[in-house]
Structure 1
Amino acid sequence: MTESVLSAEAVSRVFATGAGDVHALTDVTMDVAPGELVVVRGPSGSGKTTLLNLLGGLDRPTSGRVVLGDGRELSALPEKEVLEVRRTRIGYVFQSFGLIPVLSAAENVEIPLRLLEVDPGARARRVAEALELVGLSGHAQQRPYELSGGQQQRVGIARALVAEPDILIADEPTGQLDSRTAATIMELIRELTHARGLAAVVSTHDPVLMQRADRVVELHDGRLAEPVPATR
């Protein structure tokens, strides 16, 4: 069996509110192997975003562990080390695209490499390669408002992959797209996951998009349901 790149071990997340504790996630255990696209499905409020935030190191569980393939417990690392993992090993794709409006497509993609202090020559080469990977070589100098929603999300995917991570986290990446564009974006994510050996976790509520998953897990009220077979 292939070793997992990312694992959640009995993770729970409780949020304290004025009305009492909210159990957003309860005892969820799952893992993701390299080259595997795992789709997390469930109704609104089921805990999908909470789970992805924990897997991506954007939040820490109240109990349980998130473990990287090298054995490090992501959820217990000092914040400085978590930040380093997020910059070098994890790529994020957001529903709202998350692009900076005043920057060109190339400049948006370049941001992770600037944070890593990659030298300018290597930055330019890797940005060009990332844009070509998502089919946007001819749109490098355009700003987000000059691009369609699908093109903006392709820029977001290029930005997520430019630092060559081994984990991809995508929270409802097609939520703002029409059905045809959404299917295209999901197919792109599937192809890149397999081609690059990524461990990819994508949340969606769209049953059509689940057909592109290698595996589907389902959340209900913060708990993992029985395994769901991927549809081919």
Structure 2
Amino acid sequence: MSEHAADPALHTPVRSGVPVLTARGLHRTFGSGATAVHALAGVDLEVPAARLTVVRGPSGSGKTTLLNLLGGLDRPTSGQVVLDDGRVLSSLPERDVLAVRRERIGYVFQSFGLVPVLSAAENVEVPLRLQRTSPAERSRRVAEALELVGLARHATQRPYELSGGQQQRVGIARALVSRPDILIADEPTGQLDSETAATIMDLLVELTHSQGIASVVSTHDAVLISRADQLVELHDGKRVTVAPSEDEH
């Protein structure tokens, strides 16, 4: 992606509404024969830039499986995940998939996924080290990302010194520091109290629109669902409902 202003917005959305990821006929089956589990059964989906796509459904409906396929963490049994440059993510060699994940996709996990012995800044820095970004650039981007999520003053603190909400903010900063155009978040507020969860929801919505990110979030939270630009409902691995939020962003 192009260089972003340090202001602290990482970049300005220029492709709002343009599909960044497209899923075509996704099927994912685990096991075989009579014991096979059909986690996804023919899901189609477009994930547009600067839009929040929320995936909801009961436990076992296929939400996490769908996110894993969209994020390149798993491959479909059949069907395709296509990037906006025309490449079929689900068919790329593993080395190329890894490069896409490092360069274009940010992940936010329900369990935060922070390294306990590293400071907030060091946790955020990890993706840039994997990209072999220069030390000076790493420092600048880490400071920028922590400022973006409101944690500039907590850069030297370790996860155990931070609240759950602050830890998730670190997780979001880490997801954004490599300047992805796709954000995948699986139940990002699942371990937070309702007030903290609302704050994290606000942050995700704001960053999606201000940074032009194509965000896909699985959640049961009614408030976040109500703020979705695109709502995808799954039941038994099938997409049964798509509805925009009534809120205008």
TM-score tier (shorter): over 0.9
Read off the aligned partner of 2:235 and give its amino acid letter. Answer: H
Q: Distance in 2 between matches of 1:155 and 1:83?
A: 22
Q: Deviations over 1:73-127 (max 9, x none)?
A: 0000000000000000000000000000000000000000000000000000000
Contact 1:210 1:231 in 2 (8 A): no
Show the counterpart of 1:165. Answer: 180
Show the counterpart of 1:217. Answer: 232
Q: Distance in 1 between matches of 2:169 and 2:28?
A: 31
Show the counterpart of 1:30. Answer: 45
**Which of 99, 104, 108 matches 1:93?**
108
Q: Distance in 2 between matches of 1:177 and 1:18?
A: 40
Show the counterpart of 1:125. Answer: 140
Read off the aligned partner of 1:50 and give its amino acid letter. Answer: T
Read off the aligned partner of 2:232 and give its amino acid letter. Answer: V
Read off the aligned partner of 1:145 and give its amino acid letter. Answer: Y
2:211 aligned with 1:196 = yes
Q: Distance in 2 between matches of 1:161 and 1:122?
A: 14
The CA deviation at 1:226 is 2.3
Q: Distance in 2 between matches of 1:55 and 1:43?
A: 19
Show the counterpart of 2:30. Answer: 15
The CA deviation at 1:5 is 0.2
Show the counterpart of 2:72. Answer: 57
Q: Distance in 2 between matches of 1:196 and 1:136?
A: 18
CA-atom RMSD in angstroms: 1.3
SS at match of 2:37: strand
- Superposed counterparts of 1:64-103, under 5 Å: 64-103=79-118
Q: Identify unmatched segments of 5+ residues in structure 1.
A: none
Contact 1:42 1:218 in 2 (8 A): yes
Q: Label 1:157 to 1:63 Cα distance change in 2 as closer, same or farther (>3 A).
A: same
2:131 aligned with 1:116 = yes
Q: Distance in 2 between matches of 1:145 and 1:23?
A: 39
Q: Deviations over 1:17-68 (max 9, x none)?
A: 6961000000000011110100000111110000000000000000000001
Q: Distance in 2 between matches of 1:212 and 1:226?
A: 16
Q: Distance in 1 between matches of 2:246 and 2:187?
A: 19
SS at match of 2:243: coil
2:169 aligned with 1:154 = yes
**Which of 104, 110, 113 matches 2:119?**
104
Contact 2:69 2:75 in 1 (8 A): yes
Q: Identify unmatched segments of 5+ residues in structure 2.
A: 1-15
Q: Label 1:76 to 1:125 Cα distance change in 2 as closer, same or farther (>3 A).
A: same
The CA deviation at 1:2 is 4.3
Q: Distance in 2 between matches of 1:34 and 1:11?
A: 21
TM-score by length of 1: 0.97
Read off the aligned partner of 1:174 and give its amino acid letter. Answer: T
The CA deviation at 1:216 is 0.8
Contact 1:37 1:193 in 2 (8 A): yes
**Which of 140, 143, 147 matches 2:158?**
143
Moved more, 149-158 or 15-24: 15-24
Count how many residue pairs are aligned between Structure 1 and Structure 2.
Answer: 232
Contact 2:234 2:241 in 1 (8 A): no
Moved more, 8-17 or 119-128: 8-17
Contact 2:39 2:62 in 1 (8 A): yes
